[in-house]
Chains A and B, each alone.
Chain A
Amino acid sequence: MTSVALRPGVKLARFRDLTLVPVIVLLLVVGAFANPIFLTAGNLTNVLQQQSALALVVLAEALILISGKFDLSLESIVGMAPAVAVMLVVPAASNGFGTELPAALAIPLVLLVGAAVGAFNGFLIVRFQLSAFIVTLAMLIVVHGLHLGWSEGKSLFKVPESILFLGSTTFVGLPVSVWFVIILFALAIVVLRYFRLGRALYAIGGNIDAARAAGIRVDRVLWGVFILGGTLAALAGLLETGRLGGISANQGVGMIFMVFAAAVIGGVSMDGGKGTIFGALTGVLVIGLVENILSLVGVAPEWRQLIYGMIILVSLIISRVVGGKAQD
């Protein structure tokens, strides 16, 4: 019997995590030449802050994708969770429900709404055995529909201070929202690499029957991942609200495409069981830098969509060549 020879493709695939690092370096160089403002601390901080909401949703989606599932509804949670929490707190005159719950409850309510949507998704997908794609597609529409209906399509400007705080304050030179992203990603990287629970996500996404046979409580873990995903998306909505100072009826809409793009170019497989959180983070950074460079260079907004699309395709081709394997 022969031992397994590691083919070059396999070896390279181990560095799949790092494939976007050269791209990021390249973008930094290009940006520096394109506009002297680019490499200033102020601008880079700005990039990070602008992407912090996207980053958290990507983190949520990466966890769900690695577990072999799917969630499209996250983008609607980004808008709906803070909107509902705010409406429960502010008076009816500011478009509230009139319940006027104490303002201190605002943040817990945001997270609770996100967790509840995630729990409902999990219930339908894990317990009820429905297709994750269709369930969360429907929930994307339902959750956004609730947001639109309850807010009557209006933006919410009178928002409690506590909700604005996280997205608008800085701490040791960085916005609090960026600290949140750094801490949560670091935590996720460690848990997914070094803890049984984290490895269980890979096992479930890789071969659900094998995971079950190994004694992993598959249903419980999956349900937990959906709840965590909803909560992270709500947190992302909270940071976005603080950054923008209000909640428009379109907050989060269309975001899910960028979320998938960042996760997939960052090496997270749509088929489950493959990819890392660090990879997903590099995906977010690539998208953030590209967005920033395009606006600094003065590309008309009408053309940016096209360029994003092209960049996603090019990144996929590069990772296919580097990864050496057919993509799922």
Chain B
Amino acid sequence: MANTILDIQHLKREFKMGSETVRALKGISFSVEAGEFVTIMGSSGSGKTTLLNIIGCLDQPTEGDYLLDGVNVRHLSRNELARLRNRKIGFVFQSYNLLARTSALENVELPLLYNSGISAEERKEKAIRALEAVKLSDRLDHLPNQLSGGQQQRVAIARALVNEPVMILADEATGNLDTRTSYEIMSLLQELNRQQGKTIVFVTHEPDIAAFSQRTVTLKDGRVIRDAKNMNVRSAREALESLPVNDDY
């Protein structure tokens, strides 16, 4: 029996803009089980960024409940949220957000620096393992500017994996990459999902990318308009192989 990682109930989020109240999320409910690969789709203005912020414990709902791995984040303080992000979530951003002039290894170690229970050796060991998982064990000492976009994003994925989170939360993680590299990243995520059972929540607006996930939750105007299992999940590896080998342009 898989346990529930995300449990979202009647979630509402309102923003006060001067005298006006903007209702970004108007009551959203869905849940994600451990081991699922879910994409959250929606055009801009659909509320997906707001939802992402709440799922990522960067923001809190105005109404409704959000349970992350059984913890209700509704009334947590800023520090408790930070701790939750540190222990339970692995972020992957569109623009990688690696620290410049800092080696891949040190970038991956970063989340562990904010976990005082982990020693320096343990930190290094875990970071190396995470980089191995994204097939970058030969690039430990490379600086971000010495790596390609795809490699940088893989370092970012390693950084998201290093603290062994219950969920990897990716925000348009392929948005800055070309098709081939996007497929490579998706292939890696699929592999992590299938082989290591990582729960992945992937926010995107590209249907092409959503096709690689097992399930797609579609938002529109702050509501879930579609929540469907993907019957035939595309294999990113096969998609990659079907691309023309000679990428001349």
Chains A and B bind each other: no
Which residues of B does A touch, CB under 8 Å? none
